[in-house]
Amino acid sequence: MKLIECPRDAWQGLNAFIATKDKIDYLNRLLQVGFDTLDFGSFVSPKAMPQVSDTALVVEGLDLAKSNTRLLAIVANARGAAQACSIEKIHAIGYPFSISDTFQIRNTNASMEQSVVRLKEISTLCMEHGKELVVYISMGFGNPYGDPWSPTIVGEWVQKLSGFNIRTFSLSDTVGLAQPDAIAALFTELIGTYPEIEFGAHFHTKPEEWKPKVTAAYQAGCRRFDGALLGYGGCPMAQDDLVGNMPTERLIQFGQDEGELLNLDLDLLETCKAQFSTLMQGV
């Protein structure tokens, strides 16, 4: 079971800026906990996301010498991907591809068809620089805009995008719409159809709804899960203050109950939780 910790998703929408040195200090502690991957920053427009405008400075301060955790950065276009690919410390590049044209335009200022062109360019850059490309299927379980969605549509886009040598997709319940039956059905179908591809789960959820979602994905064969400590963050478009990121501590609890060997430093994790809570309360 792979756990991807996503502080970037937790703090990217905050109005008050977290000092770069505080981000570096926190992320360096997280790097010692033992997560598979740290979704630590974004190379996107500073006007769109001021909170992550210091990502290039942050990565300079990160110490990977005694950590096996991989760094993942989110990009929204080829220019951001080129910048991320030029940094040796970064292992993976993430691109949000929405199964909703409305959200894709809001999120990346590009339509779905324009994003296909971008993804092709980004895939080429990743292959040239030896980076993994992770595609997040945003609005993967439906959307609030009335845009067309169905499991068949999701499958068709996975088939099309996998042609760009993409081998990791993360299905995102962006606004907390997914029901357990739909989660189970979609993961079962995709994992069975594309055994060579790794499918992950990036769930946004209300506090009381986390477990059925994780259980449905896990029982369908998913072993890659994104979370954020204490459930901070989520989608600004959700229009529901109770919908946040999947709390990482819940994923850890679930993995332990399932007998997964997570190999995490849980004492250090508690220190990180306290530090993160202080950071977030300060803004």
- Domains, the chain, ordered by start: 2-282 (3.20.20.70)
pLDDT in tens, 5-16: 999 999 998 889
The confidence score (pLDDT) of residue 237 equals: 46
The confidence score (pLDDT) of residue 280 equals: 86
C-alpha–C-alpha distance, residues 31 and 70, integer Å: 9
The confidence score (pLDDT) of residue 144 equals: 93
pLDDT in tens, 147-192: 999 999 999 999 999 999 999 999 999 888 899 999 999 999 999 9
The confidence score (pLDDT) of residue 91 equals: 98
Average pLDDT score over the chain: 94
C-alpha–C-alpha distance, residues 111 and 174, integer Å: 17
Whether the Cβ atoms of residue 169 and residue 158 lie closer than 8 Å to each other: yes
The confidence score (pLDDT) of residue 241 equals: 59
DSSP code at position 246: P
pLDDT in tens, 56-75: 999 999 999 999 999 999 99
C-alpha–C-alpha distance, residues 48 and 164, integer Å: 27
Whether the Cβ atoms of residue 227 and residue 5 lie closer than 8 Å to each other: yes
CB atoms within 10 A of CB 5: 28
* Distance set, CA 160 to CA 102, 164, 224, 236 (Å): 20, 8, 22, 28
pLDDT in tens, 185-242: 999 999 999 999 999 999 999 888 999 999 999 999 999 999 999 999 866 544 455 5
The confidence score (pLDDT) of residue 242 equals: 59
Whether the Cβ atoms of residue 31 and residue 61 lie closer than 8 Å to each other: no
C-alpha–C-alpha distance, residues 178 and 169, integer Å: 17
